[in-house]
Amino acid sequence: MTEALLEVTDLKKHYPVRAGVLRRQVGTVHAVDGVSFSVHTGETLGLVGESGCGKSTVARSVLRLVEPTSGQIRLDGEDITRLSKTALRPHRRSMQIVFQDPFASLNPRMAAGDIVGEPLTVHGLASGKELEARTAKLFEQVGLRPDQMRNFPHQFSGGQRQRICIARALALGPRLIVCDEPVSALDVSIQAQVINLLIDLQKAHGFSYLFIAHDLAVVAHISHRVAVMYLGRIVEIAGKDELFRNPRHPYTQALLASVPVANPFAKKLAPLVDGDVPSPVNPPSGCAFHTRCRFAIERCKTERPALVDAGGGHQVACLLNEGTGRSQ
Ligand SMILES: Nc1ncnc2c1ncn2[C@@H]1O[C@H](COP(=O)(O)OP(=O)(O)OP(=O)(O)O)[C@@H](O)[C@H]1O
């Protein structure tokens, strides 16, 4: 395995919950509550979990768009967790993000070419004819025609708009691209085209993706490894095929069982999850999943399981997997 490009250790992001006219703090949202993972050069790590489990907060923390409460983020070996905005500037070129909604993330009053070329202008890397030529090349790289540079966002389809966002993310030659649900807002028929574009770009340029999605079929298609999040924590990480064939955490098993059609490896399992996701304001003690887990034992209510290697890089945070492995 190659060097880790991104190394996240025990990342926490807690938001205060305020109420009343005095805006007193009445609680804390444990949006991300001790998350550790790495992304290697040229690798795609899929981050999957239900809405509200903290995926976007991880993405934004990694890029320092929100300030982590604690933990460490290392990019290419350098600790960037507490760097000042100025010191962070060179690293910003190495890390880019593609958001879910391609329409919301594009300025409707700017021509597509100006949107894509803007990072080059802001960083003083190109102007005039060179800027135009580089922008045209970026358009071609994402399957758009250079003559579309003068068009405005509303003149593009949803898939094309996401291509504009990807071209903009490519402009500065990043090493890591964080994709936060990049195809969730697109028609299913268009999703595969955008995913395949991302895969082709990775093959050509060798960059790494932290790819966030709630859709397991999408994650399965693009990821080399997959991390499963539940209520602010990672409960399982493994190589894609290993995770889909041999899910060890009861939550992962339930997630896979809920999409048998999209997941060719899924075993037929009875519904394994009870009730709704608890609030991240007062997450359950011990294993956060114990309130919904059919296999929970008394210890799960009090002991927080660590993410431990179950063999071959397959990590799982489940007391029932200690030692022998399987939870059923
Ligand atoms: N700025 C904020 N202030 C307070 N709470 C927040 C803030 N941002 C996110 N949260 C809360 O943190 C938790 C995690 O949110 P986050 O958006 O990271 O989850 P997610 O898994 O990306 O969900 P989704 O797929 O719906 O975007 C949620 O309970 C959310 O309400």
Question: Which residue out of 30, 56, 101 has the highest number of ligand 1 atoms within 8 Å of its CB and is therefore the one to mutate?
Answer: 56
Respond yes or no on whether ipTM tops 0.85.
Answer: yes
C-alpha to C-alpha distance for 144 and 197, rounded to whole angstroms: 11
Q: What is the pLDDT of residues 183-202, one digit of tens each?
A: 988 998 899 999 999 999 99
Question: Which residue out of 13, 14, 29 has the highest number of ligand 1 atoms within 8 Å of its CB and is therefore the one to mutate?
Answer: 29
Residue 327: predicted pLDDT: 41
Q: Is the CB of 295 under 6 A from ligand 1?
A: no
**What element of type H or E holds 94?**
helix 85-94
Residue 324: predicted pLDDT: 46
pTM of the complete model: 0.92
Q: Is the CB of 232 under 6 A from ligand 1?
A: no
Residue 211: predicted pLDDT: 97
Q: Which is more confidently placed, 160 or 257?
A: 160
Q: What is the pLDDT of residues 63-118, one digit of tens each?
A: 999 999 999 999 999 999 999 988 998 888 899 999 988 778 899 999 999 999 99
Q: What is the pLDDT of residues 14-57, one digit of tens each?
A: 999 999 888 989 889 999 999 999 999 999 999 999 889 999 99
Residue nearest to atom 14 of ligand 1 (CA): 54
C-alpha to C-alpha distance for 270 and 320, rounded to whole angstroms: 19
Residue nearest to atom 5 of ligand 1 (CA): 15
Question: Which residue out of 14, 17, 47, 57 has the highest number of ligand 1 atoms within 8 Å of its CB and is therefore the one to mutate?
Answer: 57
Helix ranges (DSSP H) in 246-294: 250-257
3-state secondary structure of 40: strand
CA of 57 to the centre of ligand 1 (A): 6
CA of 30 to the centre of ligand 1 (A): 9
Q: What is the pLDDT of residues 142-194, one digit of tens each?
A: 999 999 999 999 999 999 999 999 999 999 999 999 999 999 889 988 999 99
Q: Residue by residue, what is the 3-state secondary structure of 191-245?
A: HHHHHHHHHHHHHHHCCEEEEEECCHHHHHHHCCEEEEEECCEEEEEEEHHHHHH
